């Protein structure tokens, strides 16, 4: 009997998933890249009330949404290798979800889990269609409590914001420089590594295991890494978790070496993005 309206999703094997890498151009343009044209339209945000700017200059129906604390919203600009980007910072997860809906032309916020507090958005709302915006919420990174990091709550929130901002800038950089950005473990290792360096001055493999929900030597995941493996067959995902767990130590060693040579942001980005997880595992023997 033929069935219609139903199909089995196509899943990757762990082996294929782990082969992902970025194609690094032989020659890159002068960095940082020039701002994308839409950035100029956000210049008026500085010095103005956020609600007035969103509704007036951008023509978004901000007043139609149930804000928790719209007065706490802030708009700034991030400097990246790919040019500047507008950054909208919220002070509550509810307002983060509302802003996401507003920028994307949805009437209702989506129910994102508390671990999701950042997006690099290509907007879909008609007045600002295809603008790119960083949307960040002030919250502990990966929903990890301050005591688990051995930090005060205030210090951890400050570091979380730095980490989150650099993380999202890294995604934007690969998009503009390498024409590629995905929800993939390699992309997340790269972005979190640069974020850790911005927030702590170094990349620590055990710290990253906490962010991903991994335990050293195990092939299970209790955190956000599982979200990036949804295209992998369920029975194959433990192989990905084990591979990522193993490769984090190699990434830490590699970044320590690059740091000792005082390599710049572009060199770090190329090193992290230009080698697959599989290739790094092969190099470990």
The DSSP call for residue 231 is T
Pairwise CA distance, residues 170 & 52, whole Å: 30
Q: What is the mean pLDDT of residues 242-255?
A: 97
- What is the per-residue pLDDT across 31-42, written as a single tens digit (0 to 9) for each? 999 999 999 999
Residue 259, token pair as written in the block: 């740091």
Measured in whole angstroms, the distance separating CA 91 from the mean position of its chain's CA atoms is 18
Determine phi and psi for 110, rounding to 5 degrees.
-85, 155
The answer, yes or no, to whether residue 3 has pLDDT greater than 50, is: no
Max CA distance (Å), the chain: 65
The answer, yes or no, to whether residue 253 has pLDDT greater than 60, is: yes
Residue 263, CB-side half-sphere exposure with 13 Å CA sphere = 18
Pairwise CA distance, residues 43 & 50, whole Å: 12
Q: What is the mean pLDDT of residues 71-76?
A: 92
Contact criterion met (CB below 8 Å) for 120 and 171: yes
At residue 45, the pLDDT reads 83
- With bands split at pLDDT 50, 70 and 90, how would you rate the model's confidence at 2? very low
User: For the chain, where are the E strands, in sequence order?
Assistant: 74-78, 85-90, 118-122, 132-137
Q: 2: exposed, middle or buried (C-beta count within 10 Å: 0-12, 13-18, 19+)?
A: exposed
Contacts of 233 by beta carbon, 8 Å cutoff, 6+ apart? 11, 12, 13, 14
Percent of the chain with pLDDT over 90: 88
- Rounded mean pLDDT of the chain? 93
- What is the per-residue pLDDT across 91-147, written as a single tens digit (0 to 9) for each? 999 999 999 999 999 999 999 888 889 999 999 999 999 999 999 999 999 999 999
- What is the per-residue pLDDT across 147-175, written as a single tens digit (0 to 9) for each? 999 999 999 999 999 999 999 999 999 99
Contact criterion met (CB below 8 Å) for 174 and 194: no
Terminal alpha carbon distance of the chain: 50
Nearest to 71 by CA among 85, 44, 89, 87: 89
Helix residue spans in 84-152 (DSSP H): 93-103, 146-149
Pairwise CA distance, residues 239 & 220, whole Å: 9
Helix (H, G, I), strand (E, B) or coil at 242: helix
């Amino acid at each position: 009997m033929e069935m219609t309206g139903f199909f089995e999703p196509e899943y990757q094997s762990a082996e294929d998933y782990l082969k992902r890498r970025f194609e690094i151009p032989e020659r890159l343009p002068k960095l940082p890249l020039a701002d994308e044209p839409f950035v100029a339209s956000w210049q008026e945000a500085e010095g103005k009330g956020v609600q007035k700017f969103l509704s007036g200059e951008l023509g978004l129906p901000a007043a139609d949404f149930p804000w928790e604390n719209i007065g706490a919203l802030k708009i700034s600009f991030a400097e990246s290798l790919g040019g500047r980007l507008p950054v909208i910072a919220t002070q509550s997860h509810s307002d983060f979800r509302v802003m996401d809906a507003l920028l994307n032309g949805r009437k209702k916020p989506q129910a994102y889990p508390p671990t999701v507090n950042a997006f690099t958005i290509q907007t879909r709302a008609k007045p600002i269609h295809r603008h790119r915006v960083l949307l960040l919420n002030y919250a502990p990174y990966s929903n990890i409590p301050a005591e688990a990091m051995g930090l005060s709550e205030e210090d951890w929130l400050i570091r979380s914001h730095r980490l989150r901002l650099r993380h999202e800038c890294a995604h934007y950089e690969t998009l503009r420089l390498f024409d590629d950005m995905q929800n993939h473990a390699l992309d997340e290792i790269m972005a979190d590594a640069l974020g850790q360096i911005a927030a702590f001055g170094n990349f620590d493999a055990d710290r990253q295991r906490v962010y991903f929900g991994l335990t050293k030597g195990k092939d299970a995941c209790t955190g956000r890494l599982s979200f990036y493996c949804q295209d992998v067959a369920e029975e194959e995902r433990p192989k990905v978790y084990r591979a990522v767990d193993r490769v984090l130590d190699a990434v830490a060693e590699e970044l320590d070496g690059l740091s000792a040579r005082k390599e710049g942001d572009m060199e770090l980005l190329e090193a992290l993005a230009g080698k697959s997880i599989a290739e790094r595992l092969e190099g470990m023997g």
